[in-house]
Amino acid sequence: MDSFINAVVSGMISGSLYAAMALGLTIIYGVSRVFNFGHGIVAVMGAYLVWTALNAAGSTAWFIFGALIALAAMYGFGLLVYRFTINPLLKKPNWEISTVLFMLGGGILLENLLLQAYGPRVKSYPEFLKGTLQFGPIQVSYQEITLFVVVILAIIGLNLFFKYTYTGQAMRSVAQSIPGAKVVGIHIDGIFGLTFGLAFLVTGFSGVLLSTKYFLTPHIGWEWMIKGFVIVAFGGLGSTNGAIFAALILGIVEAIATLYLGAIWVWPIWFAMFLVVLLIRPQGILGGRV
């Protein structure tokens, strides 16, 4: 029983990290209807930029400064990707397919650029907080608790952004109806650009969080991409709340399956659940937009 309880707690922590990773994907799709198949590589790119800042910094304060610069760069990168690539593609026929193929090809290009820059060797973040907390049968490290709290705060911050800021409300309006948003004077291209910037920043940040728990390689992005796709479709395409709930559910399932059946069974169980949900409720468990 103790092992089961610890597996559930571990699954919730992993699920929170998966939720952070899936949010960037669902934000872009929810607002612009563009599905970013290079999503996992964007997460890896953010993780490598912050890893570079960590290794170049001489103190924790400099690392925090470098990390903020790296995440700001991810935001700027998202703006540039939209402005010079996605925006022109959206004005062409069959943009749904062309944007998917472009993001997929862009992801492969970025993966190989990261491979050239950092090599194939596995990288890892240091353990920032040592020690474990024992609470009855539950045993969890301080670093995992910190990661969980950071994700919760980030999710709360995003919800407040979408609910109370003009830009967030504009994104929600565009997600609900582009013609209606145009009627009230919202600049659609501008909101799309800001959406890509925000999504790339969130995705890059999630890559940092994942890399503090798992190893980092240029190729790990495709595994993160597949997990993000399953989570977003499971929860409901374009629904941030759906992505959060789906990530927590699948994270707990992953931990329990690993405990009793072995890690080799995680993917079959994930996809079996995913296919059942699609058959019963094609819009996902919480279908909706942003």
pLDDT digits (tens, 9 = 90+) for 196-207: 999 999 999 999
One-letter identity of residue 255: A
* CA dist list (Å): 253 to 52, 162, 164, 184, 263: 34, 30, 34, 44, 11
pLDDT, one tens digit per residue, over 58-101 is: 666 677 787 888 889 999 999 999 999 999 999 888 898 999 99
Q: What percent of the chain has pLDDT over 90?
A: 45
pLDDT classification of 112: cutoffs 50, 70, 90? very high
Query: What is the residue-averaged pLDDT of the chain?
Result: 88
d(CA 2, CA 134): 12
Three-state DSSP state, 138: strand
What is residue 237's predicted lDDT score, i.e. its pLDDT? 78
The answer to whether the Cα torsion of 263, 265, 268, 270 is positive or negative is negative
Q: Which has the minimum average pLDDT: 56-65, 160-169, 189-198?
A: 56-65
Dihedral angle over CA of 7, 151, 156, 103, nearest 10: -110
d(CA 238, CA 253): 23
Counts for the chain of helices (H) and strands (E), in that order: 12, 2
pLDDT at 288 over 60: no
Question: What token pair was written down for 113?
Answer: 């650029």
Dihedral angle over CA of 241, 245, 246, 251, nearest 10: 140
Mean pLDDT of 15-22: 90
What is residue 58's predicted lDDT score, i.e. its pLDDT? 65
pLDDT at 289 over 60: no
What is residue 178's predicted lDDT score, i.e. its pLDDT? 87
Best CA proximity match to 38, nearest among 114, 109, 86, 120: 109
Question: What token pair was written down for 274?
Answer: 């995913």
Question: What token pair was written down for 8?
Answer: 């559930």
pLDDT classification of 290: cutoffs 50, 70, 90? low
How deeply is 140 buried, as exposed, middle or buried, from its count of CB atoms within 10 A (0-12, 13-18, 19+)?
middle
Mean pLDDT of 222-237: 88
pLDDT at 136 over 80: no
How remote is the C-alpha of 170 from its chain's centroid?
Answer: 22
The answer to whether the Cα torsion of 168, 144, 110, 108 is positive or negative is negative
State the DSSP H helix or E strand holding residue 134, giving kind and residue range, or none if neither.
strand 132-135
Question: What token pair was written down for 241?
Answer: 């709340």
d(CA 224, CA 20): 11
Mean pLDDT of 9-18: 90
What is residue 118's predicted lDDT score, i.e. its pLDDT? 92
